[in-house]
Every structure is written in C-alpha cells, then in structure tokens.
Amino acid sequence: SDGRGIFRVYSPEMGSKIRRYHYLLEELRLAMASQNFHLSFQPIVRVEDCSIDYFECLLRWNHPIEGSISPAEFIPIAEESNLILELGNWILFEACRQMSAWHAAGMNKVRMSINISGVQLKHLPLHSWVMDTLNKVGLPPRALLLEITESCFIDASEDVTNNLQKLRDEGVQIAIDDFGTGFSSLSTLANLPVDVIKIDRLFIDQANINPKYQKILNSISELGKNLDLKIVAEGVELASQFQLVKKLGIHCVQGYLISRPETSHQVGANVISKNLG
Ligand code: C2E
Ligand code: CA
Ligand code: CA
Ligand code: CA
C-alpha cells in the first residue's frame, strides 16, 4: 500500500518473470554478436517406406552459462523485440547453404523446411527476401518449404498471401504448422496458398487416450487429402502412434520415434554415408 488509498498489485513471481525476460533479451543481443546459435535438423519421413521427405530446421541456442535454452522460451522474446528479423536472415541463409551442401553430396531429393514467424511475414518483402537468398546460395526453390503457424495465417494480410502465392509459383512449398490449434475457420483452407498441413502434436498425444481426438485426426486427414494437401503428423513418439497414423492414411510423420533433431554433422554421418534420401 502506498497510503492514501493507493495500492499496487505485485507478486514476486511477476518480478522474476520480468527479470528473466530482460535478462534473456540482453543475452540474445550478445548471442547474436558472438554467434552462439546453431541449427538442428529433424527428418520428416514418408509413412509408406520411412524415406526422408524433408528436414525441419530448428534453432538452438547454447548459452555459455545456462546451457541450452529452449526456442519455445526465447523465440517469443526475439519476436517481440524484432531481433527475429536479423536472426531469421541468418537462419534462412544458413539452412539453405546446408541443404545446398547436402544436395551436392548426393541427397538431392530432400527438401529443407524453415519456421517463419509472424513478425517476419509482417516486416519482410517475403518473395524477394526468399528468392534472393536461394539465388545467393544456388538452391532451387523446389528444395525449400516454409512453415507458418495456423495463427499467423489467420492474421496474414492480402499482401502476405500474395507474396506466399508468388513463392509457390516459383516452386517453394508452404506448410500450415500446428494445425488444429489456431481456431481458423476450415473454409479458409480453400483460400490459403498452402501445400502441406502439419497436424499439431496435441492430437497425436491425445489420440490413444481420448477416442474423440482420433476422430478429429481422421477428419483433418480426410479433409486435407480431399484438398490435395500433404498431411504430416507431428510428435510421433510411440510405435502405436505410428500405426494409428498409418491406418488413417496420413502421408508423413515427424517425431522422436523416427529421430530427434540432430546437428548437421550427425545428419551427414547418418544419412549421406548410408546413401539414404
Ligand atoms: P514447432 O515448429 O512446432 O517445432 C516442432 C517442435 O517439436 C520442436 O521443438 C521439436 O524438437 C519438437 N518435437 C519433434 N518431435 C517431437 C516428439 O516426438 N515429441 C515431442 N515432445 N516433441 C517433439 P523445439 O525445437 O523445442 O522448437 C519449439 C518451437 O520453437 C517450434 O515449434 C517453433 O515454433 C519454434 N522454433 C524453433 N526453431 C525456430 C526457428 O528457426 N524460427 C522460428 N521462427 N521458430 C522456431
Ligand atoms: Ca514447425
Ligand atoms: Ca509444429
Ligand atoms: Ca509449435
């Protein structure tokens, strides 16, 4: 109480959250300067034969004191501060450069997928940004996929969807990420420039516990197939989940059952040396 009837609402927890936020923001700025980031890659495989369709590029931050900090914690801070724009430039360039090297090493049917944040959609001239990077690196557009969350799609302006459409015309593919969590009307699927639906992990997680989730999973899968979209199930950890996905006719899976995200060196050793993909 400040006296004279004035009270302030404050909890120690609030203070520590705000402190953590400012601490991470400062550390992020330092990390950008000192190159404390690297990329990890997780394969998305076809259900029919477990061959690799593409790799999802996932950002990793190795903090000198704290060790690995989850992107689920620091990406929102990078977004709020617009640091994601500079970081995102590096991610796109580095991921494309890596894919180009893997193509040259013989893994030339595999694509690279990159997470694009809503802040990037809003602030970047998407078509020229992506095409310039592809040209610089010498990677063909068909080797690239962009993952955009369902909730960002809903907010996308006409200018953004036009840019995405132009990229699709060049051969870049577009995926809706975390599908089923963003409250979009299903009819918007008809109008979005999209090739791939990634069904959120929540549905796979719950399918074996709650049969209703299985039915929703089935419906999303049927709907997607009717619209000629490729369906990917995220977060497959168990053999029983893989069997379910297979039964539902879902095209591709991603998850710890197949592989955890790996460094480029691990991918190179596992995939290229065995001549997979
Ligand atoms: P996301 O795009 O949905 O990425 C999938 C997340 O699920 C990754 O977490 C991945 O490691 C995790 N995952 C994969 N298979 C399994 C599984 O079988 N079980 C479980 N429990 N988890 C699995 P990660 O790497 O911690 O990334 C979290 C989120 O951070 C991503 O969710 C994405 O939204 C964001 N993110 C990561 N890297 C980037 C990036 O380069 N740019 C942007 N804008 N966002 C990124
Ligand atoms: Ca993703
Ligand atoms: Ca996802
Ligand atoms: Ca997610």
Residue 137 token pair: 């690196």
Task: Return the pLDDT at 11.
Answer: 72
For the segment 8-22, what is each residue's pLDDT rounded down to a tens digit?
776 777 778 889 999
Q: What is the pTM of this model?
A: 0.93
Pairing, β 52-63 against β 67-69: antiparallel
Residue of minimum CA distance from atom 12 in ligand 1: 235
Q: Is the CB of 118 under 6 A from ligand 1?
A: no
Ligand 3 centroid–CA 113 distance in Å is 12
Give the pLDDT score at 275. Answer: 59
- Amino acid present at 241: Q
pLDDT single digits (tens) 107-159: 989 999 999 999 999 999 999 999 999 999 999 999 999 999 988 888 889 99
Q: Is the CB of 277 under 6 A from ligand 1?
A: no
Q: Are 268 and 63 in contact (CB under 8 A)?
A: no
Partners of 46 in beta bridges: 252
Q: pLDDT-derived band of residue 248, with 50, 70 and 90 as boundaries? A: very high
Atom of ligand 1 nearest to the CA of 70: 26
Distance 200 CA to ligand 2 centre (A): 9
Q: Is the pLDDT of residue 68 over 70?
A: yes
In SS3 terms, the chain reads as CCECCECCCCCHHHHHHHHHHHHHHHHHHHHHHHCCEEEEEEEEEECCCCCEEEEEEEEEEEECCCEEECHHHHHHHHHHCCHHHHHHHHHHHHHHHHHHHHHHCCCCCCEEEEECCHHHHHHCCHHHHHHHHHHHHCCCHHHEEEEEEHHHHHHCCHHHHHHHHHHHHHCCEEEEEEECCCCCCHHHHHCCCCCEEEECHHHHHHHCCCHHHHHHHHHHHHHHHHCCCEEEECCCCCHHHHHHHHHCCCCEECCCCCCCCECHHHHHHHHHCCCCC
Percent pLDDT > 90 in the chain is 79
This model of the complex carries an ipTM of 0.98
Mutate to test the pocket of ligand 1, among 234, 245, 258, 259 (most ligand atoms within 8 A of CB): 234
pLDDT above 80 (res 230)? yes
With a 6 Å cutoff on the Cβ, whether 23 touches ligand 1 is: no
How far does the centroid of ligand 4 lie from the alpha carbon of residue 179, in Å? 9
Is 197 within 8 Å of 231 (Cβ atoms)? yes
Looking at every residue in the chain, the average pLDDT score rounds to 92
Residue 218 scores a pLDDT above 70: yes
Ligand 1: atom nearest CA of 178 is 3
Neighbours of 159 (CB within 10 A): 12
**162-211 confidence digits (pLDDT tens):** 999 999 999 999 999 999 887 766 767 878 899 999 999 999 999 989 99
Does 2 score more than 80 pLDDT?
no
